[in-house]
Structure 1
Amino acid sequence: MGERKGSNKYYPPDFDPKKIPRIRKPKNHQTKVRNMLPDSIRCNTCGNYISQGTKFNCRKEEVIGETYLGLKISRFYFKCTKCCAELIMKTDPQNSGYVVESGATRTYDQHEEEEQAEESGDALSSLEKRTLVSKREIEVMAALDEMKSMKARRMSVSIDSLLEGLSRRNKDDEEEAKEEDAVLIKSIRFGKQRRIDEEETDDKKRRMEEIDEKKKPKAKRLACGKSPSQISSVRIKTSKKEKTTSMGLASLCHNYGTDEED
């Protein structure tokens, strides 16, 4: 349905936008706004209670000469629902709330009740709050002193000394790392190293056996190249042969004498 409405405007050829006068609004220019009550209030003229959250058509303006940390403060004008008396409220960014300026009073004020409770009988709670605040202040002051001391130290230290200290630290770290690596390598035993150790032990055993054999006394050999044991066995054999031959000759001689007598 929007395309059926004639929204285009005709500008004649002799139109000059510079000739249009500019409307300069005052600083305290009021605008119509629909707002809701942030707190329950009571009208001072008729005593009517207006609950929190009721909607009003109010007039809004900026307060001249009042700001809080660069935030602008605005004022609202609205009327009572019963007697139509004008009521005025203002924003309070410091306490994140609203303040009733004139025409009414707030039925419940959290800040006022807290102050009254502290003054009346909650001495312990007030003391706890004060101690917490003092502790925070002390911590903040200590942190500021530390920051100042650190800045002073940094200002006194030169860049060359810092670079030298960093280089020394890096060298020390590298040396420590090398020592740790060497200790680790010595502690680790691989399979090949075990084989090498076994071979070395075998070689040592062989050498010891060879040394023991060399230390043992050798058997004496004669000029002919035979050992005394072999010679003794030969002598025993020759003596046995000689005994057999002598016994045979004796029997022959005995037999020979008997034949001649016959």
Structure 2
Amino acid sequence: MAERKVINKYIPPDFDPAKIPRLRLGSNRQIKVRLMAPFSMRCETCGQWIGKGTKFNARKESIEGEKFHNIQIYRFYIRCQRCAAEITFKTDPENLNYEVEKGALRNFEPWREEKALNEEKQLTKEEEEENNPIKALENRTEQSRREMDIMDSLDEIRTLNARGERVAEADVREAIATRDEEKETQRRLAEEEEDERLAKLAFQSAGGRRIKRACEEDAIAREREIKLMAIAPQASQSSNTRVKVAVVSKAPMSQSTLGIKGIRVKTAAAADSTPTLAGMLGAYGSDDDDSE
């Protein structure tokens, strides 16, 4: 492959370029080109549908005597993919399109019909305005009203966009602060709910019953009640002991029996009573009775 990449080529000394015959080509000769179908069409011979953009090996030629404002018009030859029938179409620079000549039918294209209808409607409207000035005035009024509505809509859209763009920095900070406060409040509420749930679990018995918590006032009242209940039996017990000692001292008994009874009573009182002020007074009273 090295000999095909040389830069300089050998030219013999007796080389005369004038002796080389020139190739005479006709002006209407055909050129082989590769193209795509510019529109969808249907073959007239077999009915094969050919879509837009389908690639073909075609022949191209210039049409003699047909020009549009000095723009040359060209003709293309292609063959059907199914039956190999020849299909020809040419350029249409006047309508910026292509035109089928033979071999196929162009498929319906609604946008092309819409354009033609709009043009026809515009021509009809212009003719009516020329013949009827009142109709022309009505048309201009309607057009002005439509333009005003469009301008109002555009102004409203611009106002909304400008309002969204003119967001003050203070408003942004306030919104951020409000959002942070809401998050903090939600977090605090969640913590309180969690504490309440843990407290319920802590003050709950094994059987599933809930243990009520007593407030401080209830606790003080309960303690006072317990103290009163503890003092009342002691006072009643001391008074009963004094009565028993007095009855024993007044009974006509011997000294031995009195001593035994007194010892027995005192022993029972000492065993049953607790060393309180009421008990000590009761014991002192019994000694006075015995001395008499």
TM-score normalized with structure 2 length? 0.39
